[in-house]
Structure 1
């Protein structure tokens, strides 16, 4: 059935100050790397509606985000997170793209999907913006899968170099989701210890020491992630696809290569093929070396396309 690629020009309207790592150029590089890739069902990410956001964030938080958008220039919300005119639309597109991707794979329109949008989402907690993130894109799309499509077993794998604290927070009490986060530790935001297991023992944190390379990562996934997914038998597999564990990334110190992202994507797609009709929804998170991000994301999507054919 193929692979859908979701994006929208509104995501280029979320502007951060000069020198900020989460910049417009990130998405431009990813889009350029995917521009010549054939066989993708290219779709515009719709705007997420309030009801979708309110599945995880309270009305007071949504009101705060909307009110914080400046009429001109940029405004700093916290140490890392900024907004500009257009940031709310970009954030709604990022979440809306993830939700639309879930709808498309559940309807059988496509086998899998990649959501190439920004800002990222996996650090946005229930009532807290942080780490460049405004809304919890993947967590809220997972909640949509549960509430709208009636799913009771959604597996989420977050291989961004930073802990997915927002996804963990939004899904802490959610017994219908199994969440894995592999991340460098110690590293910002300082969460993600193995004893953080969720209210239903459904959160699996996998801290990786600085300088961890692909061989060590593969062993961790083979031992601690794939067997549990196999036992869980998910109805949908979702990926928070951050590419900042790459050895070239300036914000962290892991030593993954493009080949490691290829291997990991292949393994996850194979598990999805075994248990849930190959249904995979992947959404862009981090990755701050522009060339490494573009190359890694393109390799990731190439695997999705091959596995989704």
Structure 2
């Protein structure tokens, strides 16, 4: 039995996305109800804001200033999906700070893993663009802190949408291995198999795009076949998880076939690659509130190392071998075409 640090803050509820927006404060309110089920196994903490200098390690300083100015003027839309209010800049710094605080606490031996339930989410935010409900890239800010400390960072993104921002930020960074398993086609349209990194980081981006209705069992088999050998060779020292739960079959924005049990197995799979005390999961998507609560519970159970009572009404589904083998072949052909037929070191 392990201890999980759980970071969240009441100010996250004040981020104003507008009426009827799927990324609402209700998401964190329903997640809060899950915590009672874990009693003494979770240690909660309130994050502190990231310093602007930490955010500009991964974002263009002019872009950060533009978001601040928009919020000071009362807020408004950034694009059709992404809106800010007067407080959103400060709240976004608070979201970016959650991962930094979690890392520090883990380094001090306060827990075995951490989960940060933040708003706004982050994995779509690129170096110079806020998009897809995301202002600043929370997981990238944390990963950059670890890279600056000399760590090798594995990012596993299980959100149904591709984390284009995280990929963009670390596409040429050999100290970060980015693994994304996501639905395709789907917003934002990135995350194809042949996107494998560039320069010294060729091979350190792994995209596993799945067709609609793909089961969790197939997703797990694809990760084990395509990503696990590369991760083992890469030998990460830290694991950061973009814990998006919108691949659940009941999610209104996507079409994958996962259940809550699958998030237990996906999280458990990722944990095998680093020692205890070296994992932080960041909340990303998930827009059906009941499914979000169940999936968060499953993920925390995996972080705690407890057995999950599998729901017979939530079967794992079959492994679609053709999907797995096709994706594996396409990635290998891409690497061979790039002249890089050995796993990254």
Q: In angstroms, what is the RMSD of aligned CA positions?
A: 1.4
Q: Post-superposition shift, 1:105?
A: 2.0
Q: What does residue 150 of structure 2 align with? A: 150
Matched, 1:239 2:226: no
Q: Post-superposition shift, 1:306?
A: 2.7
Pick the aligned partner of 1:207 from 185, 209, 214: 209
Residues 36-78 of structure 1 deviation map (CA, whole Å, 9 limit, x = unaligned): 4221111001101111101011210110010111565x51111
Q: What does residue 319 of structure 2 align with? A: none
For 1:10 and 1:48, the matched residues in 2 are separated by 14
Normalising by structure 1, report the TM-score. Answer: 0.94
Matched, 1:288 2:287: yes
Q: Post-superposition shift, 1:142?
A: 0.3
Do the aligned partners of 1:136 and 1:170 also contact (CA within 8 Å) in 2?
no
Q: What does residue 227 of structure 2 align with? A: 225
Q: What does residue 278 of structure 2 align with? A: 279
Do the aligned partners of 1:10 and 1:89 also contact (CA within 8 Å) in 2?
no
Gaps of 5+ in 1: none
Bigger Rg over Cα:
2
Do the aligned partners of 2:260 and 2:298 also contact (CA within 8 Å) in 1?
yes
Do the aligned partners of 1:11 and 1:89 also contact (CA within 8 Å) in 2?
no
For 1:110 and 1:267, the matched residues in 2 are separated by 20
Q: Post-superposition shift, 1:271?
A: 2.4
For 2:181 and 2:87, the matched residues in 1 are separated by 32
Gaps of 5+ in 2: 307-345
Do the aligned partners of 2:109 and 2:277 also contact (CA within 8 Å) in 1?
no
Q: Post-superposition shift, 1:35?
A: 3.5
Secondary structure class of the residue paired with 1:271: coil
Residues 93-118 of structure 1 deviation map (CA, whole Å, 9 limit, x = unaligned): 11100111122223332221000111
Q: Post-superposition shift, 1:14?
A: 0.1
For 1:305 and 1:42, the matched residues in 2 are separated by 14
Secondary structure class of the residue paired with 1:27: helix
Normalising by structure 2, report the TM-score. Answer: 0.84
Q: What does residue 10 of structure 2 align with? A: 9
Moved more, 209-218 or 224-233: 224-233
